[in-house]
């Protein structure tokens, strides 16, 4: 005698199902682990995003204020005077030297770092590999 699908009993669960909202949430997060990951990461990412974007916005607002040349105090009236001061010849020279130095330092760092990283990833073993990783940190 064979059993039909309606007559067959399901295998007993290893653990009894939890009842109520806690059990439903537990089942939901067990079935969808990416949803749990999203809910766990959302608050800190939002907090860091708000702090970062807020800081950038405050910096942008400060850039529209000017400095009183006599007292050195911040004049809290919106003006483009600060941006006009950037276009003076002395400031353009400073900007050019700063960008050039940043590009040279970036290039030199890459020239030094890539061979070391290649060696650490490809050939270093044991204690040396740990030392490379600690040195990078």
In the chain, the number of structural domains is 2
Residue 95: pLDDT above 90? yes
Pairwise pLDDT comparison (66 vs 6), residue with the higher score: 66
Same domain as 133, residue 97:
yes
Mean pLDDT over the full length of the chain? 87
Give the range of the structural domain holding residue 125, as residue numbers without chain letter: 88-137
Confidence tier at 133 by pLDDT (50, 70, 90): confident
Are residues 99 and 69 part of one domain? no
Please provide the DSSP assignment of the chain as one string: ----TTTSPPPPPSSPPPPHHHHHHHHHHHH-HHHHHHHHHHHHHHHHHHHHHHHHHHHHHHHT-EE-TTT--EE-S--SHHHHHHTSHHHHHHHHHHHHHHHHHHHHHHHHHHHHHHHHHHT--HHHHHHHHHHH-
Where a domain ends, among 31, 50, 79? Answer: 79
Q: Is 97 found in the same domain as 65? A: no
Instruction: Say whether both 74 and 97 belong to one domain.
Output: no
Residue 118 lies in a domain: yes
Position 12 in a domain: no
Are residues 74 and 26 part of one domain? yes
């Amino acid at each position: 005698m064979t059993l039909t699908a309606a007559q067959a009993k399901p295998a007993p669960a290893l653990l009894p199902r939890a009842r109520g909202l806690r059990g439903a949430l537990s089942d939901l997060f067990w079935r969808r682990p990416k949803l749990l990951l999203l809910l766990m990461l959302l608050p800190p990412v939002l907090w860091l995003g708000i702090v970062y974007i807020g800081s950038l916005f405050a910096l942008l607002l400060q850039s529209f204020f000017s400095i009183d040349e006599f007292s050195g105090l911040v004049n809290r009236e919106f003006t483009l005077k600060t941006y006009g001061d950037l276009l003076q010849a002395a400031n353009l020279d400073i900007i050019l030297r700063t960008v050039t130095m940043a590009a040279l330092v970036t290039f030199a760092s890459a020239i030094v770092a890539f061979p070391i990283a290649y060696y650490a990833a490809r050939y270093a073993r044991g204690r040396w590999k740990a030392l490379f990783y600690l040195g990078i940190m």
